[in-house]
Structure 1
């Protein structure tokens, strides 16, 4: 049975938040969280938050929002996000903006407020906020629709290796390709995404490679990407992998599999 943290959460919420930092509880919490020790992580993040560490408050809110180690409570999570954002945590500010965008956790959907908050977080360089603000400009939600401004924000997020931004720009340049330069840009964005082991980036790299040529070297490289994309559950990769495998010699397939085994993805945190 999941242990209840209702009393401790009520206590934390009753405390005022102050600026400050407390590295030990934050790092202890992250270590416990990575080990799946959610109760210990919750206790460490709570201690850090009570001591005035905005980052601890952010992680505490994430656990509350997702129901990790405690019963999910989005409304309480929103309160932690707000206080952490007021304490200077830009990731929390992005989450507050997202909740205004989606209309959840006790707040009404408000695109203009979301755009304002994403803008504040983007000014501080948060890559998730940069991408989210770009999306608002692309869709014309809360701001005047402006594809050029959207792409500018997507590019800033992509420069910080935001996976969705990399894939979005890759798709935009691919669909609107009017020159070899556009195709090269699409490939560069998808290649960077693939380097992190992203299934979309891997699959799109295979498609681009086969469009460049279908000789043995191109097939081997494309097979590697499709194999990795399939392993990462891209919905179209398994069938494409089977078709390509059937068109290749056994020797080339084995060479491609060797390349897949040698692949080591760059590490990165998820985006949101």
Structure 2
């Protein structure tokens, strides 16, 4: 459970499931919702239609027109397309420019992505400030990131109580990494009262969503009967699930148990 070996802040870059706009279908769905509003920007609607049809060059052109009119969602989408090189030449400077425009208007995803941009540049103070804004907008993965920064002391003095607070908010939104981190804190009693039972509860929630670290730790709890009844079958099951996802400790553990397993 040593964070020194864990990756840092999570980003919502291209192609992962955390972003509202990481797939064509999600952009189209959001466009359909906004199209019913008389206040929706017509260039934005055209951009959504073009994107849904796979006409990314036209989508960029329409999103840019709306972005130049101050439409925050279009500014954010334009930034992601520049990041991806989708319908336009990849340009991180333009991506950052439009991302900031949207972030300054309170667009939570833009704020969180801008936070990550500062984080990768090792400007933890700015990363924390923008992440905090996104977290206050109830964006789960920003809440998780904010908890991680509190835990590691990046951009802010380390504070496990604050880390637990933000992890819990994200965990209650069913964010598996936050559930796993909150379980870690319960397991070692940092920022929350020590409780193997609570650790098992949160590990189980994250494990059920496929979080390999939580699966491995849940297997560990079942093996030693910590917070749950000792159950070798359950221990083996969760350890194996983690191993199937490439969890190195789980793979080593399974090899050590081979002589006992059928």
TM-score (norm 1): 0.65
* One of 226, 237, 245 as aligned partner of 2:239: 226
Determine the C-alpha separation between the residues in 2 that align with 1:170 and 1:42. 45
Q: Does 1:122 align with 2:130?
A: no
Residue 62 (structure 2) aligns with: 47
* Alignment pair present for 1:92 and 2:110: yes
- The 1:220/1:139 distance shift into structure 2, 3 A limit, reads closer
State how many pairs are aligned.
215
Q: Partners in 2 of 1:218 and 1:165 — Cα distance?
A: 26
Aligned partners of 1:69 and 1:235: how far apart in 2?
39
Q: What residue is the counterpart of 1:64 in the other structure? A: 82
**Distance 1:66-1:24 versus aligned 2 partners, 3 A rule:** closer
Does structure 2 retain, via aligned residues, the 8 Å contact 1:134–1:153? Answer: yes
Q: Matched residues in 2 for 1:135 and 1:180: separation?
A: 19
Gap runs ≥5 in structure 1: 1-18, 104-108, 250-272
Contact 1:219 1:244 in 2 (8 A): no
What CA deviation, in whole Å up to 9, does each residue of 1:120-149 have, x standing for no partner? 212111122222222332233333432212
Name 1:154's counterpart in structure 2: 167
Displacement of 1:86 after TM fit?
A: 3.4
Instruction: Confirm whether residue 187 of structure 1 aligns to residue 200 of structure 2.
Output: yes
CA distance in 2, matches of 1:161, 1:60: 29
Distance 1:233 1:26 in 2: 38
Partners of 1:194 and 1:28 in 2: CA distance: 39
Render the CA deviation track for 1:49-76: whole Å, top value 9, x for unaligned: 5335544543443343355676543222
Match of 1:113 in 2: 126
Residue 256 (structure 2) aligned to one of 243, 249, 253: 243
CA 43–24 in structure 1, closer or farther in 2 if over 3 Å, else same: closer
Distance 1:173 1:49, change over 3 A: farther
Given candidates 97, 101, 107, the residue that maps to 1:83 is: 101
1:193 CA drift (Å): 1.1
Aligned mates of 2:147, 2:194 — CA distance in 1 = 23
Q: Which residue does 2:146 correspond to in 1?
A: 133
Per-residue deviation, 1:23: 5.8
Give the SS at the match of 2:156: coil
The change in CA–CA distance for 1:61 and 1:212 in structure 2 (over 3 A counts) is: same
TM-score normalized by structure 2? 0.67
Aligned-pair CA distance for 1:247: 0.8
2:209 is aligned, of 191, 196, 203, to: 196
Answer yes or no: is 1:102 the counterpart of 2:115.
no
